[in-house]
Amino acid sequence: MNDLDNIINGLRENGIEFLNDEPLSLYTSIKIGGKCDIIIFPKDEDELLFVAGLLRNNSKDYLIVGFGTNTLFRDEGVSFPVISFKKGFQFIKEINSSEEELEGNTANSKIALEVGSGVALSRVLNYAVKNCLSGCEFFFGIPGTLGGALRMNAGSKERVVSNIVESVEIITGEGAKLNIKKEDLLFSYRNMDIKGVEEGYFITAATLALIKSDKSKILENINIFKERKLRQPLGEYSLGCIFRNPAGNAAGKIIEEIGFKGFSKGDAVVSDKHANFIINKGGASAKDILELIKNIQKNALLQKGVELSTEIKIV
């Protein structure tokens, strides 16, 4: 079931922004992908609740995207609706939940931030620095939105998003608005599930627990992550790390050891700065990327006996 006409009519009648026959390459950080039949841009919870109902009645499948920083869209595109948070859920606000916090606002006092799922991590970090809040320094150089970072439990080897999340606001595929406390958020390596909630839910916001700190200390912490990012191909069209790190090893190290650093297929190139990144030099196709991935996986198994699994989402 995928009644595109019903979806379009419903969106038009309610003034909800959408585009038809849109290239998905415009909605992913690697700039690759075929077209989608329709992409929808809900601006707030009311519009999203309506969209959820419209999809429930008219489409079996749909896909949610933020900045598309870990999603490779195939060259054939997709025939189901895509929902983009690019134009909505962009708020950041402080929450004081106790008298101590209201009186506090001193060094080491806890500050809760409610952040919309469409907010870029770089913007959250900038807000934190400006307001002397520590805890999210590891956001530096991570290109996605908060919603995407939650779904991927994004972060570094020291800290991940799950370390600072207190709760998550969602709208389920059935249209229920829920506040999910941390104890019901099931975080694992590059993944988040919600206890008792099926897939197809929309993350609308999260509450982050940060700490009041000295700005100079926060900037020192950021510099640690900044130095690491210099070893990655920042500014290039990529999806970040392609493969999950095997237990006790690093995917980039394995790829370099099997001779694939700098290897290319058309305009798809394994980065010579960090071998776990595949770069689109401008004209790469999804097919080129997928062939490189399969080639690396095959050789990692043959030469090292290691099965490399992808960290990115392939649609």
Answer yes or no: is pLDDT of 100 > 50: no
pLDDT value at residue 105? 56
Helix axis angle, 121-130 to 215-229, nearest 10°: 150
Residue 154: phi and psi, rounded to 5, are -70, 155
Answer yes or no: is pLDDT of 210 > 80: yes
Question: Which ranges in the chain are annotated with CATH 3.90.78.10?
Answer: 251-314
The answer to whether the CB of 40 falls within 8 A of the CB of 18 is yes
Answer yes or no: is pLDDT of 261 > 80: yes
Confidence band, pLDDT 50/70/90 cuts, at residue 99 = very low
Secondary structure (3-state) at 225: helix
188/144 Cα distance (integer angstroms): 19
CATH topology of domain 92-229: 3.30.465
Mention the CATH class of domain 4-84. alpha beta
152/173 Cα distance (integer angstroms): 20
Give the residues across from 313 on adjacent strands: 71
Find the DSSP H helices in the chain.
4-13, 45-58, 99-103, 121-130, 146-152, 215-229, 251-257, 286-304
Find the DSSP H helices in 133-235.
146-152, 215-229
The answer to whether the CB of 35 falls within 8 A of the CB of 77 is yes
- Tell me the CATH number for domain 251-314: 3.90.78.10
Encode pLDDT of 48-90 as tens digits. Answer: 999 999 999 999 899 999 999 999 999 999 999 999 998 999 9
Q: Catalytic positions, please? A: 190, 241, 311
CA separation (Å) from 303 to 124, 271, 307?
A: 42, 20, 11
Question: Which ranges in the chain are annotated with CATH 3.30.465.10?
Answer: 92-229
The answer to whether the CB of 16 falls within 8 A of the CB of 40 is yes
The dihedral region occupied by 143, where left means phi > 0, alpha psi between -120 and 50, and beta the remainder, is alpha
1/99 Cα distance (integer angstroms): 52
| Among 128, 204, 210, residue whose Cα is nearest residue 164 | 210
pLDDT value at residue 189? 86
